[in-house]
Structure 1
Amino acid sequence: MIRSATRLARRGVLALPVVVTVLALSACSGGGTDSGTAAPGASTAPTKVGVVLAGPRNDKAFYQSYLDGVQAVATKEGMTVSVVDNVSSPQAAIDALTNLAADNQLIIAGGSSLVSAGNTVAPQFPDVTFVMSGVVQTGVANLHTYATKQGVPAYVAGVVAAQESASGSIGYVGGTDIPPNSQSSIDFAAGAKSVKPDIKVASVTVGSLSDAAKAKEATSAQIANGADVIYAFQDAGLPGVLDAVKESGKTVKVFNPTTDRCDESPALIGYAFQDTRVMVGHILEDYKAGKLPTQPRFYALDDPSVQALKLCPGNDKYQAVVTDTTSKINSGAITMPQGG
């Protein structure tokens, strides 16, 4: 069952940013050995779930991928789901989590920027389970972390970028100042320099995942300075990156995060794939088993059904590189840089 914004407003549950009608999930994980702690009321799937998203549900990337995954799980489990998206300020995040916690058993927050609000609100609702997509404070029994290490596939992209680049200069166009962005920037550069130590790597964070104009301006500047491969940590802002490439008239390749958008431009060479259907399933399995982890649970590249660096059609010449680099990361032969 899906709850509409109108019904929620009548009950006074959500006097907040836009409320939408699907469940969305924060990044989840498969790492860690923590046996976990029992979720409040666990043993069956929650019947009422609230979701808060830091960005728009239709961004064709991070947040929309959550919705795609959760729709399947919500239908299967018969859950009532309430969603608030575009939560962009600290106070709005606190309000969203507080209001949803008043009427739901499980709260899932998508976006690292929501972690601070989770730390504040969760202790006030000890009978509600909170799952965040960033590392939360310790010692709160009903507060948990499931998160992907988004920098790891960016490292693989960097290895490919160094081999693809003819100019010896590549770029990174980041979105907001959140850990996945900084991790991806660090790891993309590290991957490239593992192949060509002298390669030039420009990096900028434009302050938004969805502002196409800012993304375009930053990309144009990097292309003008010689970059011919760019990792665009952008969601709804990706069209701005692709417009800059097209208008430059140059051969520039682009990686994007999360979803397959290869058909949007011949400039796209690959993407850091994530599948939240698997992640949502794991969170609900742990919830029902009463084994939500007390320590952060992460995914890197160990489960390709959750996260992997994938290539767009026509770039198969790099598949062996992707496979080999991924294998070395998983075996420990390659160590991620500090901060990545």
Structure 2
Amino acid sequence: MRAPTHPAAIRHRARALQHRQVSPTSTETARSSSASSAPATSTTAATSRSFVDGAKRFGEPKDWKVIARGNVSTADALSAARALCAQKVDMVALGAGSLSDAIPASEEPACEKTVWYVPAQGNIAQTPRILLSEDSVNQNLLAAGHAAGMLMKDKNLDTAGFVGGLDVEFEQRASVAFKAGVRSVLPDAKVLISFAGDQNDSAKAKEATQAQLRQGAKVIYPYLGGSTDAAARLANETGVLTLTPGTDRCASTDPKFDISVIFDPGSYLTAALQQFADGKMEVGTKKTWMMGVDEVPTVKFCNGTDEQNKQLRAVHVRHRLRQDRRRRRSQAPWFLRSRSRAPGPQQRSRRQPFAAWNQQGVRQGRRQRQRGSVDQPRTDPRSAG
């Protein structure tokens, strides 16, 4: 028997969760809870707390049992997943794509009644029993930059800073998107970009942050891991505005944040669990979390004015409308899709030879008629007087 994919079948399984158990697995810290329900979670060191807390935050009020597995290495991922399926869990949620070696277990008889949640990292292949989960770093950081630009405009600031961890392609794209977001509000704003060289080294993070403060940064985005708080505290000392790199920390006072940029794995898992409970999770598909469409990702001001919050909601609405247009275009017949956008270079190159030939033929025919070398149209004899 295959894992159900029809919404009615999933709803039936969701109603039965109150009699089942849940099992999350973490590569960082082993956690467990004695409630009564069903996902199994696996996470990396950087995201384990958020991931497991997300499962508990959603599951425990519903009396679901969350079983957290910790310190799972890549080599042990498959055996850990098999052990969870042997406990009759209803969902296995991997916290990182690095644990994708566990996915073959989803096709085994012991896991035939288990739904799988997997982050779409790297080149993980879609299989019938897993839900792949992904987001867009460009949309998240563009919105973060736009929100930072709004605060800068209101406070008459002109310099922002982005402090990344590693100078790698993923973080480079994030920095470019953040810069574009700031300049979508303030075209002449100065955006400083630097990389500390490590996601979790507090000393390096503070050094990179201090360098940007000396250059006049009035907004600091510590796009870091374990060293985020060290960089944010240093920014707080000089009254510089700060943003969170993925979680909602508006309630935090040490350090203090002005904007929460929310795209952490725990938030996505919580949203997926809600879909699972509502019978709306579709395994065998890829879920792309879109700003303005889904509850997460999102951006919010921690102490924003009514006008600022209104403007930020308008940004989310624009994201949603843009995604709606893209979806309608992708679902339209091919002949409508081709007319819904300007012709690309290849389309123009195909049309130009025909257009040039046609115009040349018209000009040639006109010249021939003027010289009298082309027979003139014959006159209908019945029209003669």
Question: TM over 0.5: same fold?
Answer: yes
Alpha-carbon distance in 2 for matches of 1:97, 1:206: 35
5 Å-filtered alignment, 1:10-25, equals 18-21=29-32
Deviations 1:56-110 (A, max 9, x none): 6xxxxx64443343224433665443323566xxxx2342453233332432122
Alpha-carbon distance in 1 for matches of 2:195, 2:129: 33
Larger relative contact order (Cα-Cα within 8 Å, sequence gap ≥ 6): 1
Give the number of equivalent residue pairs.
288
Shift of 1:217: 2.2
Check if 1:102 corresponds to 2:95: no
Partner of 2:116: 130
Alpha-carbon distance in 2 for matches of 1:224, 1:283: 49
* Contact persistence 1:69–1:280 (CA under 8 A): no
Structure 1 runs not aligned, ≥5 long: 6-12, 24-45, 57-61
Partner of 2:102: 121
* Contact persistence 1:101–1:107 (CA under 8 A): no
* Contact persistence 1:3–1:21 (CA under 8 A): no
Q: TM-score, normalised by structure 2?
A: 0.61
| Secondary structure of the corresponding residue to residue 264 of structure 1 | coil
Shift of 1:329: 1.6
Partner of 1:327: 317
Structure 2 runs not aligned, ≥5 long: 1-19, 327-385
Check if 1:147 corresponds to 2:134: yes
Larger radius of gyration between Structure 1 and Structure 2: 2
Q: TM-score, normalised by structure 1?
A: 0.68
Partner of 1:252: 240
Shift of 1:228: 1.2
Alpha-carbon distance in 2 for matches of 1:334, 1:244: 41
Q: Report which of the two has the higher share of helix.
A: 2
* Contact persistence 1:146–1:298 (CA under 8 A): yes
The 1:2/1:123 distance shift into structure 2, 3 A limit, reads closer
* Contact persistence 1:259–1:272 (CA under 8 A): yes
Alpha-carbon distance in 2 for matches of 1:169, 1:335: 34
Alpha-carbon distance in 2 for matches of 1:180, 1:131: 23
Shift of 1:253: 0.5
Q: Report which of the two has the higher share of strand.
A: 1
Alpha-carbon distance in 2 for matches of 1:258, 1:102: 31
Partner of 2:69: 84
5 Å-filtered alignment, 1:1-340, equals 18-21=29-32, 49-55=39-45, 63-75=48-60, 79-85=64-70, 92-104=73-85, 105=89, 106-110=91-95, 114-118=96-100, 120-127=101-108, 128=111, 129-135=115-121, 137-165=124-152, 166=156, 168-175=158-165, 181=171, 184-206=174-196, 209-247=199-237, 249=238, 251-256=239-244, 257-264=246-253, 268-273=257-262, 275=267, 276-283=269-276, 285=278, 292-303=282-293, 305-313=295-303, 315-332=305-322
